[in-house]
């Protein structure tokens, strides 16, 4: 049978999602825990690989197994064997046509910025702190240049392995509540470091280091070496994956709000 999982995790304790030799990753911890429940090795496929320090509230993964367990047993059994920073929220049997990565229609991230002159204590590692007051109107104007289908070469990591740099951004929204600025990005897919590079450019514009058109100029360069600073991983959350309705997955969109 094929099992889909909804997963959340605090990324600070891990070297990202992807399994790597000699380091602690989310995928490796989950596979070890699920293998104990299944009593056979388990290999996971996720909707979107996250970097070291990046959090998730709506990560989706699937695995195939010959082991028969109830959906409740997969959840409780996995969580009993996982570190506290990872939690399986739900498990559901799906058709073999479902694929956590390739069946996805779109993905959503939220980047949380704390804009105030005093650094955080309780939210350390959960938000990105910016000492300066940010001009959110300028950031919104700059973000509008990035909506649509574009070549995002300037906004991806130099080591990005994606075959094409073209992505379609459906929506970028910035909202402010007290000292918090929420940057929400909805796209068909994302490149390596794409959200953090967009956040870095928008923060620079919010600091008035550049005008709102700078985001468009960087886009047109199609050259990462001429892009802006990569924002920290601290404030980044993988929020939601959209699939065709026939897969009937539980809703997992719970964007963090402080």
User: Does the annotation count 135 as an active-site position?
Assistant: no
DSSP letter for 157, please: -
Helix (H) / strand (E) element for 28: namely helix 26-38
End-to-end CA distance of the chain: 39
Tokens standing for residue 202: 């928008």
Is 217 buried (19+), middle (13-18) or exposed (0-12) by CB count in 10 A?
middle
Helices 214-221, 194-206: crossing angle, 10 deg rounding? 140
Q: Is 182 annotated in some ligand binding site?
A: no
Of 184, 191, 104, residue with least CA distance to 156: 191
Q: In the chain, at which residue ranges do the beta strands (DSSP E only) sit?
A: 2-9, 45-46, 55-64, 86-94, 106-115, 128-130, 148-151, 166-177, 180-187, 236-242
The residue to which tokens 């320090």 are assigned: 53
Q: Is the dihedral of CA 11, 12, 14, 16 positive or negative?
A: positive
Tokens standing for residue 82: 């996982």
DSSP-assigned beta bridge partners for residue 131 = none
Find the catalytic residue in 10, 13, 51, 178. 51
DSSP letter for 188, please: S
Residue ranges of the annotated binding site are 109
Task: Give catalytic residues, as residue numbers.
Answer: 51
Binding site members for substrate: 109
């Amino acid at each position: 049978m094929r099992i889909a999982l909804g997963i959340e995790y605090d990324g600070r304790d891990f070297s990202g999602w992807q399994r790597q030799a000699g380091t602690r990753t989310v995928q490796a911890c989950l596979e070890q825990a699920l293998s104990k429940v299944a009593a056979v090795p388990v290999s996971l496929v996720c909707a979107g690989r996250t970097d070291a320090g990046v959090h998730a509230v709506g990560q989706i993964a699937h695995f195939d197994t010959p082991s028969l367990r109830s959906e409740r047993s997969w959840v409780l059994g996995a969580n009993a064997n996982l570190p506290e920073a990872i939690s399986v929220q739900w498990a559901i049997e799906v058709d073999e046509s479902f694929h956590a990565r390739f069946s996805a229609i779109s993905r959503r991230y939220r980047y949380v910025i704390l804009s105030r002159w005093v650094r955080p204590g309780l939210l350390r590692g959960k938000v990105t702190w910016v000492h300066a007051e940010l001009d959110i109107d300028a950031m919104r104007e700059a973000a509008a240049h990035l909506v649509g289908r574009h070549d995002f070469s300037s906004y991806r990591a130099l080591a990005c392995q994606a075959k094409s740099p073209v992505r379609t951004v459906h929506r970028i929204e910035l909202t402010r509540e007290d000292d918090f600025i929420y940057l929400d990005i909805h796209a068909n897919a994302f490149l390596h470091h794409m959200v953090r590079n967009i956040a870095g450019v928008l923060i620079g514009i919010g600091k008035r280091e550049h005008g709102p058109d700078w985001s468009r100029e960087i886009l047109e360069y199609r050259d990462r070496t001429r892009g802006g600073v990569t924002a920290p991983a601290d404030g980044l959350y993988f929020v939601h994956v959209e699939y065709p309705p026939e897969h009937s997955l539980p809703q997992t969109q719970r964007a963090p709000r402080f």
